[in-house]
Amino acid sequence: MTVLITGAGLIGSLAADALARQGRRVILSDIRPPASNAGAGITRVQCDVANIDALDALVEKFSITEIVHTAAVLSTGMRANPGAGLATNFLGITNVLEIARLRQIKRVVNASSLTVLYPGFGTLPEQPIDEDIALKLVSQRPSSLYAISKLTSEQLGLHYRDTYGLSTVSLRFAAVLGGSLTNPTSVPGQLMKVLCEAARASGTAVLDDPLLTWAGTEEFIDARDCAEAIVHALAAERPTTGVYNITSTPAVTLEQFIAAVQQAIGPFKVEMSHRPDKGFAGFPFVRPAPSSTVRARDELGFIPQHRLADTIQYWSAR
């Protein structure tokens, strides 16, 4: 059986490596031309997920049996170019699901985000946040284009499952940590870059961007755990819920995150131009409780392996 992974970014590439280690044949596609082949078990190809004909031809050529969909434009990119971001994020998941339906693909695993739940933080009780929380359709709608696209991808996956019998799984990743710190494109990556650079220089981290600070606690996930969650989602026998929170525990304060970087790399000072009073990445509400990961554990068999200190130690040395 051959797995197609759309998106050769951090999570897609790590998932490809994890599946190849299991002896699976992996086709790793990206809108950018591949710089080189990826090694044993992985074939890199160029394909735009917004082009349904090209994507379908790829599925047919390699006799794809399962699809992992990670190709997406992140929040920073969507803010800079909304039209291009929406075209990729909406057409991508639509094309993947349509091809999977027509070609009877065994399973589709979709990379989603816990940010779809953030608008409800202002009214949720102080108890573990389940995947199926109640949100008001208007006043608690997703507050970013990225979150809108991810919630839509989840709903489309559930609709194709219920209407056409397609086996779909959406994984709601917490704030992902990992990858190169040279030119990060995500808010968690930018936070890591600022803090790790200050730690290496024994200098001062200036946190003047409100997107990089938060009040209360926030949840993070190592990109390596994201890849393992994908492996588990492909193999799960009965993913009944269809949507799963994927996060490491416990949630941490900004002060705890800073302390973890100091412990992993070295001491540094922190200057902030404001007092944090909102949630992570500028979301208006502080997290009221941790996300429940019971369903991911029970239905997917997934338990994260990397704590924050390990994550910082590993990725800061890459």
The SS3 assignment for 234 reads helix
Return the closest-CA partner of residue 239 out of 164, 304, 158: 158
The SS3 assignment for 267 reads coil
Q: Is residue 281 part of a domain?
A: no
pTM score above 0.75: yes
Q: Would you write out the chain's pLDDT as a tens digit for each of its 318 residues?
A: 899 999 999 999 999 999 999 999 999 999 999 877 667 899 999 999 999 999 999 999 999 999 999 999 988 888 889 999 999 999 999 999 999 999 999 999 999 999 999 999 999 999 999 999 999 999 999 989 999 999 999 999 999 999 999 999 999 999 999 999 998 888 999 999 999 999 999 999 999 999 999 999 999 999 999 999 999 999 999 999 999 999 997 999 999 999 999 999 999 999 998 889 999 998 999 999 999 999 999 999 999 999 999 999 999 988
Report the C-alpha gap between 231 and 192 in whole angstroms.
Answer: 26
**Where does the chain have alpha helices with state H?**
10-21, 52-61, 75-80, 82-103, 145-164, 187-201, 223-235, 254-264, 294-295, 308-316
Asked whether the beta carbons of 302 and 296 are under 8 A apart, the reply is yes
The whole domain housing 36 covers 2-175+222-246+290-304
Q: Is residue 274 part of a domain?
A: no
Domain count, the chain: 1
Report the C-alpha gap between 138 and 176 in whole angstroms.
Answer: 28
Q: Is residue 312 part of a domain?
A: no
The domain that holds 234 is classified in CATH as 3.40.50.720
Torsion of CA 156, 26, 312, 270, to 10 degrees: -50
Q: Is residue 37 part of a domain?
A: yes
Q: Is residue 56 part of a domain?
A: yes
Q: Is residue 206 part of a domain?
A: no
Asked whether the beta carbons of 98 and 91 are under 8 A apart, the reply is no
